[in-house]
Amino acid sequence: MRQRAAGGDDPGVSSDQYRAVMRRVAGSVSVILSGAPHALVGMTVNSVVSVSLDPPLILFCARAQSASAASILEKGLFSVNLLSDEQQLVSRYFAGGQAEPPAFDLGSDGDHVWLERTVGSFLCSVDNVHRAGDHNIIVGKIHRIIDNTSRPLPLVYRDGQYHSLAR
């Protein structure tokens, strides 16, 4: 077993090298939403992972200092929206990359708010939060699934660019 260097830093791993290699891994793009249609809080992530079938759990990672993540945790309810390849502008907006919101439709049941025309959405409550380095791993218990039966292709992000899967 390797021991960590003093202070917890491994002198053989630089954050720039780590970021450069991880950018090459393709991942689906999701938007996490909370609040209400008139007071929406959201963030774009590419760190959504299925955790468990029984009970149904899903996770995403967010910077520990993220104001959006703090609002989501305070509310305790959120949706995970798997973006379709036609929702690149939605992704950019919730990533903070553009000031004006693009046109998008929302669904709401009074507790959760979600994006329409996605690959699918999971309506969740916060189940657990784990601190991991400079991020929080937020685990959600899934209460409802919104399944887009038209089966759109997912939006994919790799090496700083959006991509679509071949049709």
pLDDT digits (tens, 9 = 90+) for 15-36: 899 989 999 999 999 999 999 8
Torsion of CA 29, 15, 65, 39, to 10 degrees: -20
The 10s digit of each residue's pLDDT in 82-99 is 999 999 999 999 999 877
CA separation for the pair 63, 4 (Å, rounded): 23
CB 140 within 8 A of CB 124: yes
For the chain, the distance separating the N- and C-terminal CA atoms, rounded to the nearest angstrom, is 46
CA distances from 137 to 62, 73, 90, 166 (A): 7, 11, 23, 31
- pLDDT over 70 for what percent of the chain? 93
The predicted structure's pLDDT at residue 3: 44
pTM, to two decimals: 0.90
CA distances from 32 to 42, 57, 121 (A): 5, 15, 10
Give the type of residue at 67: A
